[in-house]
Amino acid sequence: MGEGGPRMLPRRKAASCRRTAIFLVLVTFLWLQLHVPSPSSSNGSSSGATRSASQSSYGSSSSAGGALDANDAQAAAVLDMVPQVLHKFLLLRPGEGVAEAKGPLHGNGTAGNGTGEAGEDSPVATEPALNVSEIIRRIERHNDLQVVYNEETFGPVLNDTLIIVIQVKSSFNFKEGKICSKIMFSFYRALIKGCNNAPYPDLYGHYREAKFTQTKHHWWWKANRVFDQLEVTRNHTGLVLFLEEDHYVTEDFIHVLRLMERTRKASCEQCNILSLGTYLKTYNYYGDAKRAEVTPWVSSKHNMGMAFDRSTWAEIRRCAEFFCTYDDYNWDWSLQHISQPPQQGVKQNGAGGGCLGPSHRLIAMVMKGPRVFHIGEWALDVSGVHHKKNNCEPTAVIQKVQQVVKQASKHFFPSHLTLIFTGGASGGGNNNAKNGKQQKPRKGNGGWGDRRDHQLCINMTRVGR
């Protein structure tokens, strides 16, 4: 043991030297990292700005500020035309770049829990990467996918499924409710451009105003899209009900609509439009809960909560040129124009009308006790366009409607309907021609003299699936 001890000392000294050397190297390396600038430090600030810009639209440098401001303004204008509650369909999610976007809602193309809210694992929307081309691309992709959500819960869309089309405008500001049904979202693309078309004023010498012309375009587009451009409705033969976001429906509106459909098949073959709403201010549910009026369809009276099927749409679509060239920016007045009897010696786009013919005129079955109410903070004039009223409080209107509905609820879910024929609508297929007073042809309200609007409207019927 005594001889082995001295021979171990050189090894211990060597190990101690190695540890000391390694320690000095580490200390030197750390000192250099803290005090010596890296070769890329000269552009470090600019690379940081680039990373910020790739993650947020608001990460901008002074040299590119003007371009980004212009792009932000354009994108904000596009988003301003989309209701706030639908922005989540168009915004980028955290970690999702333009090239990585996979679906209209989330990165994996799913829709959360199907109730209008994000699921537990769904990313939450952040500030939008404001980019006009990306927003437009997402709109096009979303419309092309034609996803029907909640089918796994409520089953597939059948050929006789009741389809409810709800128009949601940029003024939408009501509380968003949970969506407990099968649902598909479609975005109507439109750009407002300030340009005149001098040779083509309307009947009154006025030129187009986009805020008015879009009303007719939007209705015609959504009807064409639902009946002729969606795969899920290719063979659909049931009813399509048209509502707007500020319509209030009673609990039995689907039951009543089905009852109207059965009554039409049994007792009113000439009825081709079913209307659940009315603009009357007083109602008598005790006497009218089971009554429906059969009358020639009038645009200013029967356009709320109206439903029709593919056969009626085929007749309307056949009159696309009459509808699209009639000088009236209102879709409902244009619809009435193609239904009224033709007038000799009157220009077609003035007040002539008469495309549908006497055997296919629009005859409405209208509930005397309404199942659809208008509750918006906007008042409807006779032409169907919303106008702001200073003394109209939406909460008060809703409360009034709820009070009416509560009092009438004991008369809901009728077992049958009694039809009341008025206005010469009892004459079978030739409605009004022989049995009633012929309506005086109406002159259009104007606002639809621009030939570009005519062509855009007609082209909507040429876009297939």
**Helix 331-339 to helix 210-224 angle, to the nearest 10 degrees?**
60
In terms of domains, do 142 and 190 share one? no
Q: What is residue 107's predicted lDDT score, i.e. its pLDDT?
A: 32
CA distance 379 to 397: 11
Tokens at 433, concatenated:
């021609």
Please state the residue numbers annotated as binding site for Mn(2+).
246, 374
Asked if residue 212 and residue 91 are part of one domain, the reply reads no
Q: What is the pLDDT of residue 295?
A: 96
Residue 136 lies in a domain: yes
Cα 390 to Cα 377: distance, rounded to the nearest angstrom = 9
DSSP, residue by residue, 58-95: T---TTTHHHHHHHHHHHHHHHHTS-GGGGGGTSPPTT
Q: State the DSSP H helix or E strand holding residue 296, giving kind and residue range, or none if neither.
A: strand 291-296
- Do 304 and 430 have their domain in common? yes
Same domain, yes or no: 132 and 237: no
Angstrom distances, CA of residue 166 to CA of 26, 96, 228, 351, 409: 69, 30, 17, 30, 24
Q: Residue 306 and residue 292: Cα distance in Å, rounded? A: 14
Question: Do 137 and 268 fall into the same domain?
Answer: no
pLDDT confidence of residue 135: 76
139 falls within a domain: yes
Using a 10 angstrom Cβ sphere, with 0-12 exposed, 13-18 middle and 19 or more buried, the burial of residue 460 is: buried
How far is residue 433's CA from residue 425's CA, in Å, rounded to a whole number? 9
In angstroms, rounded to a whole number, what is the distance separating the alpha carbons of residues 313 and 334?
14
Q: Is position 49 within any domain?
A: no
- Separation of alpha carbons 208 and 55, rounded Å: 41
Cα–Cα distance, 464 to 231 (Å, whole number): 10
Structural domain contains residue 130: yes
Q: Which amino acid is at 343?
A: Q
Residues 145 and 190 in one domain: no
Q: Is residue 376 within 8 Å of 343, Cβ to Cβ? A: no
Residues in binding site for substrate: 214-218
What is the distance between the alpha carbons of residues 242 and 240, in angstroms, rounded to a whole number?
7
| Boundary-marking domain end, from 149, 177, 196 | 149
Q: Ramachandran region of residue 293, left (φ > 0), alpha (ψ -120 to 50) or beta?
A: beta
Task: Evaluate whether residue 39 is within a structural domain.
Answer: no
Contacts of 110 (CB under 8 A, 6+ apart): 103, 119, 122
Counting the structural domains of the chain, the total is 2
131 and 243 within one domain: no
Question: Is the residue at 14 inside a domain?
Answer: no
Annotated binding residues, written as ranges, equal 214-218, 246, 374
Contact indicator for 339, 394 with CB cutoff of 8 Å: no
237 in the same domain as 110: no
Domain of residue 120 covers: 66-149
Residue 379 CA to chain centroid, in angstroms? 20
Q: Which two structure tokens, joined as six digits, stand for 113?
A: 């829990």
In this structure, is residue 386 part of a structural domain? yes
Are residue 117 and residue 217 in the same domain, yes or no?
no
Identity of residue 98: V
Domain boundary among 102, 133, 149: 149
Q: What is the CATH number of the domain that holds 451?
A: 3.90.550
Same domain flag for 200 and 113: no
Per-residue pLDDT 10s for the chain (465 aa) are 444 444 555 566 666 777 777 777 776 776 666 655 544 444 443 333 333 333 333 333 333 445 445 556 666 666 666 656 566 656 644 344 433 333 333 333 333 333 334 344 443 444 455 567 777 788 788 788 888 888 888 888 888 888 888 877 655 554 454 456 777 777 766 554 444 565 566 666 666 777 888 889 999 999 999 999 999 999 999 999 999 888 899 999 999 999 999 999 999 999 999 999 988 888 899 999 999 999 999 998 999 999 999 999 999 999 999 999 999 999 999 999 999 876 654 554 444 556 887 778 999 999 999 999 988 743 443 334 444 555 556 678 888 889 999 999 999 999 999 999 997 666 444 444 444 455 566 778 888 988 999 999 999 998 665
Last residue of a domain, one of 120, 149, 178: 149
Hey, is 180 helix, strand or coil?
coil
pLDDT value at residue 68: 46
Residue ranges of alpha helices (H) inside 245-330 are 253-267, 285-288, 310-318, 320-325
In a domain, 259, yes or no: yes
Rounded to whole angstroms, the Cα distance separating 389 from 351 reads 31
Considering the domain architecture, whether residues 112 and 258 belong to the same structural domain is answered as: no
Burial class (CB in 10 A: 0-12, 13-18, 19+), 448: buried
253 shares a domain with 115: no
Yes or no: say if 161 and 238 are a contact pair by the CB < 8 Å rule.
yes
Q: What is the pLDDT of residue 86?
A: 62
Work out the widest C-alpha separation in the chain, in whole angstroms.
136
Distance CA 322, CA 338 (A): 6
Residues in the chain: 465
Confidence (pLDDT) at 279? 87
